[in-house]
Structure 1
Amino acid sequence: MPSISNKGNSMPQSPIRKLVPFAEAAKKNGTKVFHLNIGQPDIKTPQVALDAVKNNAIKVLSYARSEGSEEYRNKLANYYAKNDIHVAANNIIATTGGSEALLFTIGSITDPGDEIIIPEPFYANYNGFSTASGVNVVPVISKIENNFALPAIEDFEKLITPKTKAILICNPGNPTGYLYSKEEIEKLKQIVLKHDLFLIADEVYREFAYDGEKHNSVMALEGLEQHAIMIDSVSKRYSMCGARIGCIVSKNENFINTAIKFAQARLSPPTYALLASEAALDTPQSYFDEVIEEYQERRDTLISELQKIDGVKVANPKGAFYCIAELPVDNSEDFAQWILEKFNHNNETVMVAPAGGFYSTKGEGKNQVRIAYVLNKADLKRCVEILKVALQQYNN
Structure 2
Amino acid sequence: MPAVSQKGRSMPQSPIRKLVPYAEKAKKEGVRVIHLNIGQPDIKTPKVALDAVRNHTLEVLEYSRSEGSEEYREKLAGYYADNDIHVKAEDIIITTGGSEALAFTMGSIMDADEEIIIPEPFYANYNGFATAAGVNVVPVTSHIDDNFALPPIEQFEKLITPKTRAVLICNPGNPTGYLYTKEEIKKLAAIVKKHDLFLVADEVYREFAYDGRQHYSILQEEGLDDNAIMVDSVSKRYSMCGARIGCMVTRNKQIIKTALKFAQARLSPPTFAQMASEAALDTPQRYFDDVKEEYTERRNLLVEELQKIDGVKIGNPQGAFYCIAELPIDDADHFAKWLLEEYRLDGETVMVAPAAGFYSSSGYGHSQVRIAYVLDKESLKRAVYILKEALNSYTHNG
TM-score, normalising length from structure 1?
Answer: 1.00
Matches within 5 A, 1:11-90: 11-90=11-90
* Equivalence for 1:93: 93
C-alpha distance in structure 1 between counterparts of 2:276 and 2:357, whole Å? 33
Distance apart, 1:340 and its partner CA: 0.6
Q: Which secondary structure state, in structure 1, belongs to the residue aligned with residue 159 of structure 2?
A: coil
CA–CA separation in structure 2 for the residues paired with 1:316 and 1:344: 28
Q: Deviations over 1:13-48 (max 9, x none)?
A: 000000001101111111100011000000000000
Q: Distance in 1 between matches of 2:340 and 2:69?
A: 44
Partner of 1:138: 138
Cα displacement (A) at 1:348? 0.5
User: How much has 1:137 moved relative to structure 2?
Assistant: 0.2
* One-letter amino acid of the structure 2 residue matched with residue 169 of structure 1: I
What is aligned with 1:154?
154
Give 3-state SS (helix, strand or coil) of 1:158's partner.
Answer: helix
1:292-331 to 2 correspondences below 5 Å:
292-331=292-331
Instruction: Report deviation, 1:79.
Output: 0.3
Deviation at 1:115, TM superposition (A): 0.3
Residue number in structure 1 paired with 2:388:
388
Return the alpha-carbon distance in structure 2 between the equivalents of residues 71 and 20 of structure 1: 38
Structure 1: 5+ residue runs without aligned partners? none
| Paired residues for 1:1-396 under 5 Å | 1-396=1-396
How many Å separate the matches in 2 of 1:283 and 1:41?
Answer: 17
- 1:56 is displaced (CA, Å) by 0.9
- After TM superposition, the score normalised by the length of structure 2 is 0.99
Q: CA deviation at 1:231?
A: 0.1
CA distance in 1, matches of 2:68, 2:7: 31
**Which residue identity lines up with residue 168 of structure 2 in the other structure?**
L
Question: What whole-Å deviation, never above 9, does each CA across 1:37-65 have from its counterpart, x for those lacking one?
Answer: 00000000000000000101100000000
Cα deviation digits, residues 238-292 of structure 1 (max 9, x gap): 0000000000000000000000000000000000000000000000000000000
For 1:346 and 1:210, how far apart are their aligned partners in 2? Answer: 35
In 2: Cα distance, 1:22 partner to 1:363 partner:
25
Q: Specify every segment of 5 or more residues in structure 2 that has no aligned partner in the other structure, as ranges.
A: none
Question: How far did 1:322 drift?
Answer: 0.1
- RMSD over aligned Cα, in angstroms? 0.3
Q: Tell me how far apart the structure 2 counterparts of residues 62 and 70 of structure 1 sit (CA, whole Å).
A: 15
Q: Which runs of 4+ in 1 moved over 2 A?
A: none
Deviation at 1:237, TM superposition (A): 0.1
Partner AA of 1:326 in structure 2:
E
SS at match of 1:361: coil
The CA deviation at 1:294 is 0.1
Cα deviations by residue, 1:331-379 (Å, 9 ceiling, x for unpaired): 0110000011000111000000000000010010000000000000011
Q: Distance in 2 between matches of 1:73 and 1:150?
A: 32
1:306-352, Cα deviation, whole Å (9 max, x unpaired)? 00000000000000000000000000110000011000111000000
Distance 1:147 1:225 in 2: 30
